[in-house]
């Protein structure tokens, strides 16, 4: 039996949203995060996908030549900057990728507050869910950070991220404000190899360090099945209750404003220079 972390009794929200563009996806997560800081939004586990497929840059990652913007335009791939850190990720539609986000406070996790501790808390549930599907997944402990951060997220496995046979399956990034945090993660169901190579021209072999559930299981699982397995694992691993629900009117309005004023703007996309 899993050791329970005794999070607060308040139920968590399970939010599964329709595939949408990068600016809207990131605005929704920031709206949830701001709502959690003011206690107007519950702790939330969200599963989502992207339409059109999109490259997301880490919060502090330069918009340089590591992502081929001409290839993005040619292939109809969007590009957005995340509020979370880390490196660039190519997010496909729901047939090849599931993205999760967790928005919570230290109290929601039973007092767990540190960056690595929250990574581990989330990683335990991800690992349990993936193993329940038959994936021989492993969670990496403390990873070394001496080398420069790669431009492509799946080029290196970070602390408490998930691998199969030494190759990265789940890439995650976090942003903290006080005791509240937002964590994003990408679970690879399959991969479009040619598109991935075109989008990341400076990454010698993007497939050398990554894997997919399709490769691990011998078949590509459906988005909904993976979401169901992961949600169940969060409940059983941590003793929380997930209640399916949608965005509130206030969250929707805030997300729409954040799209207009932040995530869809060139100023935000260009980022640090």
Place of tokens 């996790």: 109
Closest CA to 6 of 121, 116, 119: 121
What number of CA atoms fall less than 13 Å from residue 35's CA on the CB side?
23
What is the C-alpha separation between 30 and 254, in angstroms, rounded?
9
What is the C-alpha separation between 251 and 249, in angstroms, rounded?
6
- Residues 6 or more apart from 157 whose CB is under 8 A from it? 140, 143, 163, 168, 209
Name the catalytic one among 31, 88, 128, 153. 153
What is the C-alpha separation between 5 and 108, in angstroms, rounded?
10
Q: What does the longest C-alpha to C-alpha distance in the chain come to?
A: 51
Q: What burial letters (b/e) apply to 166-175, b meaning 16+ CB within 10 Å?
A: ebbbbbbbbb
Q: Is 72 a catalytic residue?
A: no
Please list the active-site residues: 153
């Amino acid at each position: 039996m899993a050791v329970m972390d005794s999070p607060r009794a308040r139920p968590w929200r399970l939010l599964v949203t329709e595939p949408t563009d990068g600016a809207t996806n990131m605005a929704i997560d920031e709206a949830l995060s701001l709502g959690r800081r003011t206690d107007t939004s519950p702790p939330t586990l969200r599963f989502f996908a992207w339409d059109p497929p999109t490259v997301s840059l880490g919060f502090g990652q330069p918009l340089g030549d590591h992502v081929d913007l001409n290839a993005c335009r040619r292939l109809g791939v969007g590009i957005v900057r995340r509020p979370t850190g880390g490196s660039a990720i190519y997010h496909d539609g729901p047939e090849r990728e599931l993205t999760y986000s967790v928005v919570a406070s230290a109290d929601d996790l039973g007092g767990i507050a540190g960056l690595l501790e929250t990574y581990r808390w989330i990683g335990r549930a991800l690992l349990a869910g993936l193993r329940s599907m038959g994936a021989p997944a492993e969670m990496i402990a403390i990873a070394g950070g001496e080398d420069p951060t790669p431009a492509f997220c799946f080029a290196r496995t970070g602390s408490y991220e998930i691998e199969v046979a030494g190759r990265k399956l789940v890439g995650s990034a976090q942003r903290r404000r006080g005791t509240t945090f937002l964590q994003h993660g990408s679970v690879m169901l399959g991969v479009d190899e040619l598109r991935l190579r075109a989008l990341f021209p400076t990454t010698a072999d993007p497939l050398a360090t990554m894997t997919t559930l399709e490769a691990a299981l011998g078949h590509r699982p459906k988005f909904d099945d993976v979401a169901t397995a992961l949600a169940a694992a969060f409940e059983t691993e941590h003793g929380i209750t997930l209640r399916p629900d949608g965005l509130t009117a206030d969250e929707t309005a805030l997300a729409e404003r954040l799209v207009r004023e932040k995530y869809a703007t060139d100023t935000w996309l260009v980022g640090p220079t």
